[in-house]
């Protein structure tokens, strides 16, 4: 790290749990962020500020006026523009010491392995179960840890999954491409979605630095009506079509 990086990350480096060693791990990490909606817009600033050295931003969407309520990366004048380009420009202006690649593509069964391979960690902030299951299954196939974050209505869920249990173990496979559970239909509370994205970034930093070795398979759930978090270790589904052998 050069002198500017030492200054940039000074508050991390003085933390004994991160230090220079942890900061170098962050700099070396390759993280794919799938989805630049509310979750991605919550996660990206924290990942960029933390100095995650290689980010791949994957999203085929453009900014809609109804996104701005929960996606603070974008401005009114950005409506109609591609989210990947805007997010990359924002991130580079916040941290010149990291590399950012963009893939303005929708993740499909045909391209998922190509887009996600080569990363150390995947963060999924997509807004429908069909894509989340695709990301989860691909993460298992590639052997890459996955942080899955979602929020709708007044709930948020964030979890990290390595091999077992996998994401499909937790949500089941009753969802198909015809199902639609996105926030356009259910509604979303902007601050809650942003918190879920930030929490995903926090788990990512824990994982990369090596603080979160006991996190795998644990699902964190926030119920805004109760104003309470709960965290449960999820069991593996022995009949899971993705990870059961
Ligand atoms: Zn599974």
> Going from the N-terminus, what domains does the chain have, and what CATH number goes with each?
21-233 (3.40.50.720)
The reported pLDDT for the residue numbered 184 is 66
The reported pLDDT for the residue numbered 176 is 53
Q: Cα(171) to centroid of ligand 1, in Å?
A: 9
Whole-number Å distance between alpha carbons of 52 and 31: 7
Q: Cα(136) to centroid of ligand 1, in Å?
A: 9
Q: Cα(121) to centroid of ligand 1, in Å?
A: 17
In the predicted structure, residue 179 carries a pLDDT above the cut 60: no
The reported pLDDT for the residue numbered 244 is 87
In the predicted structure, residue 175 carries a pLDDT above the cut 70: no
133-156 residue pLDDT tens: 999 999 999 999 999 999 989 999
Q: Cα(172) to centroid of ligand 1, in Å?
A: 8
Whole-number Å distance between alpha carbons of 75 and 52: 24
The reported pLDDT for the residue numbered 201 is 98
187-215 residue pLDDT tens: 899 999 999 999 999 999 999 999 977 88
In this structure, what token pair is assigned to residue 50?
């933390």
Could you tell me the pLDDT band of residue 101, with boundaries at 50, 70 and 90? very high
Q: Cα(216) to centroid of ligand 1, in Å?
A: 13
Q: Cα(53) to centroid of ligand 1, in Å?
A: 30
Could you tell me the pLDDT band of residue 84, with boundaries at 50, 70 and 90? very high
Q: Cα(182) to centroid of ligand 1, in Å?
A: 23
Q: Span 81-96, mean pLDDT?
A: 98
């Amino acid at each position: 790290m050069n002198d500017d990086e030492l200054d940039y990350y000074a508050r991390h480096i003085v933390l004994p749990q991160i230090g220079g060693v942890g900061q170098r791990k962050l700099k070396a990490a390759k993280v794919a962020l799938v989805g630049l909606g509310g979750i991605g817009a919550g996660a990206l600033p924290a990942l960029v500020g933390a100095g995650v050295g290689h980010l791949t931003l994957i999203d085929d969407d453009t900014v809609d006026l109804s996104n701005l309520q929960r996606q603070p990366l974008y401005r009114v004048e950005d409506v109609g523009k591609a989210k990947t380009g805007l997010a990359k420009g924002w991130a580079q202006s916040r941290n010149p010491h990291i590399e950012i690649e963009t893939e303005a593509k929708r993740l499909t069964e045909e391209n998922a392995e190509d887009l996600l391979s080569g990363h150390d960690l995947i963060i999924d902030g997509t807004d429908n179960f069909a894509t989340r299951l695709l990301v989860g299954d691909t993460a298992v196939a590639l052997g890459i840890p996955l942080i899955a974050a979602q929020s709708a209505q007044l709930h948020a869920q964030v979890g990290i999954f390595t091999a077992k249990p996998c994401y499909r173990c937790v949500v089941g496979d009753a969802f198909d491409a015809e199902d639609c559970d996105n926030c356009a239909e259910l509604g979303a509370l902007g601050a809650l979605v942003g918190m879920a994205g930030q929490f995903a970034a926090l788990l990512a930093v824990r994982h990369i630095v090596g603080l979160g070795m006991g996190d795998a398979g644990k699902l964190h759930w926030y119920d805004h009506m109760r104003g309470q978090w709960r965290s449960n270790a999820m069991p593996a589904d022995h009949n899971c079509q993705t990870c059961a052998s």
